[in-house]
């Protein structure tokens, strides 16, 4: 299943110089579906990129059944189902799909939304060759598409459910460790942003490409700062647990080691 090409809403002209025909009801519905899928891709990737280091550093006791973590579990499940569905739809994981002869890959405009979004959710070229598709007995996907599909499957698998079912998680091996395969989606975030920029441009909602580049830069800076802060806290906390007398999280009153409280009775950092 491919995302449909969105028609321009602005004062676009056809080849004869007349004003373009307004969107029909079906075209408007297709555009709404495309926008929802694009938003879900970006939000899902941002959710994992932001929540994984937070849980790794500040919520080491995270569990699927914990009432305090219900929102995390629900959003993880929603985005897992969504991304698995996107993989099946975008890579056409059915036997015998092959491009018809004469339809050359890359024939479309490189800047068109359809040529970008009808491929893999990661935007990797070659995942779904452009052109018509027919049922043949030959392999469905080229090698590049197969590797892209495998990468996205590995970045989506709910390994934490397997760990809970097998009893692999423990205080020494927190459940969040089994979710770190979702961090692979960080590499897909730029392509999601590019797809969003193409959609907004083709629908007339974004006319200044510099705005897109600016918020991509600020997003990258913010996410990198978030990851660094969480990792710094995690390292300092582990130092404190190993006997370091003072670490910056404790000095800033972010936490007080329980062992020290038990020894001195003083809860003041």
Tell me the per-residue pLDDT of 156-185, one tens digit each, with 9 for 90 and over: 999 999 998 888 888 788 889 999 999 999
Residue 118 near residue 130 (C-beta atoms within 8 A): yes
Decide: helix, strand or coil at residue 165. Answer: helix
Please tell me the predicted confidence (pLDDT) of residue 22.
65
The three-state DSSP-derived secondary structure of 227-255 is: HHHHHHHHHHHHHHHCCCCCCHHHHCCCC
Closest CA to 198 of 126, 115, 266: 115
Q: pLDDT tens across 88-143, in order?
A: 887 654 444 333 333 333 334 434 454 445 555 555 444 444 444 444 444 445 55
Q: Where are the domains of the chain?
A: 26-207, 209-269
Q: Residue 98's closest CA among 146, 147, 140?
A: 140
* 87, 150 contact by CB (below 8 A): no
pLDDT of the residue at 83:
94
Q: How far apart are CA 116 and CA 106, in angstroms?
A: 10
Average pLDDT estimate for 210-235: 89
């Amino acid at each position: 299943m491919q995302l449909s090409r969105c028609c321009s809403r602005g004062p676009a002209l056809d080849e004869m110089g007349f004003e373009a025909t307004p969107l029909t009801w079906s075209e408007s519905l297709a555009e709404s579906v495309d926008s929802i899928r694009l938003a879900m891709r970006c939000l899902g990737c941002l959710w994992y990129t932001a929540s994984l280091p937070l849980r790794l550093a500040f919520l080491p006791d995270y569990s699927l059944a914990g009432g305090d973590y219900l929102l995390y579990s629900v959003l993880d499940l929603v985005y897992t189902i969504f991304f698995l569905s996107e993989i099946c739809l975008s890579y056409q994981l059915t036997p015998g799909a092959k491009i018809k002869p004469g339809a050359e890959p890359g024939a479309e405009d490189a800047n068109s939304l359809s040529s970008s979004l009808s491929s893999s959710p990661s935007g990797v070229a070659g995942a779904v060759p452009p052109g018509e598709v027919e049922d043949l007995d030959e392999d469905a996907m080229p090698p590049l598409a197969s590797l892209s599909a495998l990468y996205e499957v590995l970045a989506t698998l709910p390994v934490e459910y397997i760990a809970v079912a097998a009893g692999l998680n423990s205080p020494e091996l927190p459940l969040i460790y089994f979710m770190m395969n979702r961090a692979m989606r960080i590499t897909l975030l730029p392509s999601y942003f590019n797809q969003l920029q193409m959609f907004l441009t083709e629908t007339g909602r974004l006319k200044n490409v510099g705005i897109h580049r600016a918020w991509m830069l600020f997003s990258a800076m913010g996410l990198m700062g978030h990851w660094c802060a969480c990792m710094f806290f995690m390292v300092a906390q582990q130092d404190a647990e190993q006997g370091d007398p003072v670490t910056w999280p404790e000095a800033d009153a972010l936490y007080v080691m329980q062992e020290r409280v038990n020894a001195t009775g003083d809860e003041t950092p």
